[in-house]
């Protein structure tokens, strides 16, 4: 019995159709993966700068309460895998005998310090940081993430996330 091709029913997809569907699916999946990875990376940077802001605000509050001054040093090692960190050393007043404190950035977050100096001095009597500074966050690829932390001469801390003040 001869059956014409027009009468035969189609029972499966061709190899070309399957490959096209698979490529569309993989493209969409990859795009979603990249979008969520970048969102997770920016959340990590924001969380890290929020922790740094909290740590600095706490140090300034303790300095004012105990009438102690401190020196803040920012270390930006250039080697791969080395973490960026800040060191706080107490001077005079009720906290002078206290140990040095450290704040380590997340292993995936790097900082760029705007300005020429990496040592700042906080004076509790005037609630001032000298010189003022800005730390800009870099993502894993070493590009500016748009997030930053600024400490003014008056000791005011401002955190920006993607250009917006937090």
pLDDT means per 10 residues, the chain with 166 residues, are: 60 79 74 55 85 94 91 88 91 77 89 88 93 88 85 92 68
pLDDT of residue 146: 84
The tokens for 150 are: 């600024």
Beta strands in the chain (DSSP E): 69-75, 85-91, 101-104, 110-114, 119-123, 128-130, 133-138, 144-151, 157-161, 164-165
CA within 13 Å, CB half, 142 = 5
Torsional sign, CA 47, 66, 124, 74: negative
pLDDT of residue 61: 93
Contact 114, 132 (CB under 8 A): no
pLDDT of residue 84: 92
pLDDT of residue 1: 54
Question: Per this entry, what is the length of the chain?
Answer: 166
pLDDT of residue 13: 76
Strand 101-104 with 85-91, pairing:
antiparallel
What ranges do the domains of the chain cover? 16-165
Distance CA 104, CA 109 (A): 10
pLDDT of residue 41: 65
pLDDT of residue 8: 60
The tokens for 79 are: 């080697």
pLDDT of residue 23: 78
pLDDT of residue 148: 92
Buried b / exposed e over 134-164, threshold 16 CB at 10 Å, is bbbbbbeeeeebebbbbbeeebeeebbbeee
Q: Return the CATH number of 16-165, one of 3.30.470.10, 3.55.40.10, 3.40.50.2300, 3.10.150.10.
A: 3.55.40.10
């Amino acid at each position: 019995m001869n059956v014409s091709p027009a009468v035969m029913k189609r029972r499966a997809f061709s190899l070309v159709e399957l490959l096209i569907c698979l490529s569309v699916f993989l493209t969409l999946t990859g795009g979603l993966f990249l979008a969520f990875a970048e969102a997770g990376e920016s959340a990590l940077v924001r969380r890290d700068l929020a922790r740094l802001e909290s740590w600095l605000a706490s140090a300034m509050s303790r300095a004012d309460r105990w009438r102690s001054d401190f020196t803040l040093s920012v270390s930006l090692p250039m080697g791969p895998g080395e973490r960026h960190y800040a060191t706080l050393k107490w001077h005079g007043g009720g906290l002078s005998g206290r140990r040095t404190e450290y704040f380590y950035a997340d292993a995936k977050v790097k900082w760029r310090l705007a300005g020429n100096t990496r040592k700042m001095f906080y004076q509790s009597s005037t609630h001032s940081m000298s010189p003022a500074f800005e730390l800009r966050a870099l993502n894993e690829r070493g590009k500016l993430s748009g997030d930053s932390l600024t400490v003014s001469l008056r000791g005011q801390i401002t955190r920006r996330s993607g250009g917006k003040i937090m």
